[in-house]
């Protein structure tokens, strides 16, 4: 669990406005503790993934929700298969 | 030793920074591990691609690498692509495509229906039959001359198997289309026949040559003359030269393994062995009086420990 400041410090190429935008769009969904936002390891990795999609793979703002939605569906399936006891590679 | 980063990205050594960036993007999109969960090879590939990009994407590092000041190894490894480890755990449900509710069972029913449909389709596609393996014992002389053997299969069919001359144990013959039947109109599999070549009481085989220990009488050895020799092709009359001593080797050209295709026939080698036979009074009397013309010690120079 880390705070917004720590998260911004962790990724040098992360700008606060971008993160706020992603939170507003629901791409990143931190929890609220009092006045503060807290980010779990899952959120941190997701921010890392979004940064890589944007900076390394040139996924633009219009394409980002599409990619994230497909990925979320993919991981829904994989979680579900795991729950059903199907062994997945890697 | 890490691979040449230029090769990893598939770019020329003089590629422009834009070309390097484009090549990296293409490979990153293809191999990013979070986009390829369940494909460990994608992760390894992505790591290599990222490391190559870290080196070549930075003009300063690239120049140092080109000058040989740093090598492709020892680069700082960027931590990336581990979202999937989190996302696959139960907490990943927070980013479910349907927030706040569990994925509906029917979605998965549809998914599995698709999977089963695909499997059913695959099963109705033409499929080649299985290869079946059989073992066939080939008598020694059949392997020498070549033969046609009949092999009875478990299903009652009889296969006629042509054995070329010169086969050896452990060799496999393949009969196309004689294996398991194909499905849905696919071709039949092959019959694979493992050969097991038997031994022979008289002949020993080495490559394509045969060896025969040939016993001769004392008279035949000393005086020479015609003897009848068993060969794979039938008895053969061979004239022994005069004074054929024990251990002498006689070569019968072309009487070994039969010729096959471009390969010439092997030879049959006779190793003479003298047999005195039952006691003979006259021979005994002769030998006790006999003074050899050139005395000879067959054990001369024989020492157990040289």
CA distance B289 to B276: 18
Torsion angles phi and psi, residue B93, rounded to 5: -60, -20
**Confidence tier at B306 by pLDDT (50, 70, 90):** low
Tens of pLDDT along B25-63? Answer: 999 999 998 888 888 888 888 888 988 998 898 888 888
A62's tokens: 């219009």
Using the Cβ of B92 and the Cβ atoms of chain A, whether some distance falls under 8 Å is answered with yes
Instruction: Report the alpha-carbon distance of residue B145 to residue B256 in Å, rounded.
Output: 9
Crossing angle between the packed helical segments B40-56 and B59-66, to the nearest 10 degrees: 90
Q: State the DSSP H helix or E strand holding residue B195, giving kind and residue range, or none if neither.
A: strand B191-197
CA dihedral (B180, B184, B187, B188) in degrees, to 10, reads: 10
CA distance B155 to B159: 11
Which residue of B23, B30, B37 is the best one to mutate when testing the A interface, meaning the one whose CB has the most A CBs within 10 A?
Answer: B37
Candidates B25, B32, B87; nearest CB to A75: B87
pLDDT for residue B211: 96
Enumerate the β-bridge partners of residue B238: B227
Distance CA B227, CA B252 (A): 13
CB contact under 8 A, B37 and A79: no
| Bridge partner list, B227 | B238
pLDDT digits (tens, 9 = 90+) for B54-111: 889 888 888 888 887 777 765 555 556 688 888 888 888 888 876 545 545 555 566 6
Minimal Cβ distance to A69: which of B53, B90, B97:
B97
Q: Measured between CA atoms, how close is A30 to chain B, in angstroms? A: 10
HSE on the CB side for B218, CA within 13 Å?
8
Q: How far is CA B85 from CA A43, B70, B82, B98, B127, in A?
A: 12, 33, 6, 20, 39
> B7 CA to chain A: closest CA distance, Å?
19
Average pLDDT of the residues in B104-121: 66
Mean pLDDT of B108-132: 74
Summarised one tens digit per residue, pLDDT across range B167-196 is: 999 999 998 888 888 888 888 888 899 999
User: Mean per-residue pLDDT for A71-84?
Assistant: 86
> Domains along chain A?
2-83 (1.10.1660.10)
Given CB atoms, is B97 within the 8 Å cutoff of chain A?
Answer: yes
Cβ under 8 Å to B: A residues 2-61: 26, 29, 40-42, 45-46, 48-49, 52, 56-58
CB contact B77 to A (< 8 Å): no
Q: Which chain A residues are closer than 8 Å to B85 by Cβ?
A: 45
Q: What is the pLDDT of residues B238-279, one digit of tens each?
A: 999 999 999 899 999 999 999 998 999 999 999 999 999 998
Domains and CATH numbers, chain B: 5-95 (1.10.287.110), 132-197 (2.60.260.20), 203-289 (2.60.260.20)
Interface test with A, best of B9, B25, B86, B110 (most A CBs within 10 A): B86
* CA-wise closest residue to A54 among A40, A64, A45, A46: A64
Q: What is the pLDDT of residues A6-24, one digit of tens each?
A: 888 888 889 988 999 999 8
Q: What whole-number distance in Å separates Cα of residue A32 and Cα of residue B301?
A: 104
Chain B residues within 8 A of A88 when measuring between CB atoms: 37-38, 88
Q: What is the pTM of this model?
A: 0.47
Q: How big is the A-B interface in CB pairs under 8 Å? A: 91
Rg (CA), chain A: 15
d(CA A47, CA A37): 14
- pLDDT of B1: 45
Structure tokens at B19: 């070309």
- The torsion angles phi and psi of A18, rounded to 5 degrees, stand at -60, -45
Residue B31 touches partner A, C-beta closer than 8 Å: no
Q: How far is C-alpha A17 from the geometric centre of its chain's CA atoms?
A: 15
Q: Could you read off the pLDDT of A27-54 as tens digits, one per residue? A: 999 988 888 889 998 999 999 999 999 9
A31 to chain B: closest CA residue = B94
Q: Which residues of A touch B81 (CB under 8 A)?
A: 49, 52
Nearest Cβ partner for A41 among B25, B86, B108: B86
**The two structure tokens encoding residue B143:** 């392997």
B233: nearest Cα among B207, B262, B261, B212: B212
Q: What is the dihedral of CA B173, B175, B179, B181, to 10 degrees?
A: 170
Question: Pseudo-torsion of CA B98, B103, B109, B111, nearest 10°?
Answer: 50
Structure tokens belonging to residue B42: 């994608």
Phi, psi for A11 (deg, rounded to 5):
-110, 110
């Amino acid at each position: 669990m880390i705070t917004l400041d720590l998260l911004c410090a962790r990724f040098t190429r992360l700008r606060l406005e971008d993160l706020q935008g992603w939170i507003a769009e629901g791409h990143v969904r931190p929890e609220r503790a009092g006045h503060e936002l807290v980010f779990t390891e899952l959120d941190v990795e997701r921010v890392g993934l979004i940064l890589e999609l944007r900076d390394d793979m040139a996924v633009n703002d219009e394409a980002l929700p599409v990619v994230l939605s497909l990925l979320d569906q993919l991981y829904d399936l994989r979680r579900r298969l795991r729950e059903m006891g199907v062994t997945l590679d890697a | 030793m890490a691979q040449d980063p230029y090769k990893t990205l598939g770019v020329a050594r003089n590629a422009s920074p834009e070309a390097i960036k484009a090549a990296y993007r293409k490979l990153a999109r293809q191999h990013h591990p979070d986009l390829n969960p369940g494909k460990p090879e994608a992760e390894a590939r992505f790591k290599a691609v990222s490391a190559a990009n870290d080196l070549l994407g930075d003009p300063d590092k690239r120049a140092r690498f080109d000058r040989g000041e740093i090598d492709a190894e020892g680069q700082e490894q960027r931590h990336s692509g581990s979202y999937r480890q989190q996302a696959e755990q139960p907490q990943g449900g927070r980013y479910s495509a349907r927030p706040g509710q569990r994925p509906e069972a029917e979605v998965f029913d549809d998914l599995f229906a698709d999977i089963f449909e695909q499997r059913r389709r695959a099963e109705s596609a033409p499929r080649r039959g299985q290869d079946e393996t059989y073992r066939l014992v080939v008598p020694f002389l059949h392997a020498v001359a070549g033969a046609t053997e009949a092999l009875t299969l478990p299903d009652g069919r009889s296969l006629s198997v042509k054995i070329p001359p010169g086969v050896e144990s452990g060799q496999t013959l393949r009969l196309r289309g004689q294996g398991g039947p194909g499905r849905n109109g696919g071709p039949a599999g092959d019959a694979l026949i493992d050969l097991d070549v038997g031994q022979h009481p008289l002949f020993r085989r080495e490559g394509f040559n045969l060896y025969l220990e040939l016993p001769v009488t004392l008279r035949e050895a000393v005086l020479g003359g015609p003897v009848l020799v068993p060969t794979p092709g039938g008895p053969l009359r061979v004239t022994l030269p005069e004074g054929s001593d024990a251990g002498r080797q006689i070569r019968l050209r072309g009487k070994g393994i039969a010729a096959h295709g471009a390969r010439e026939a092997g030879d049959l080698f006779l190793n003479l062995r003298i047999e005195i036979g039952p006691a003979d009074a006259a021979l005994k009397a002769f030998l006790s009086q006999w003074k050899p013309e050139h005395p000879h010690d067959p054990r001369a120079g024989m020492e157990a420990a040289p």
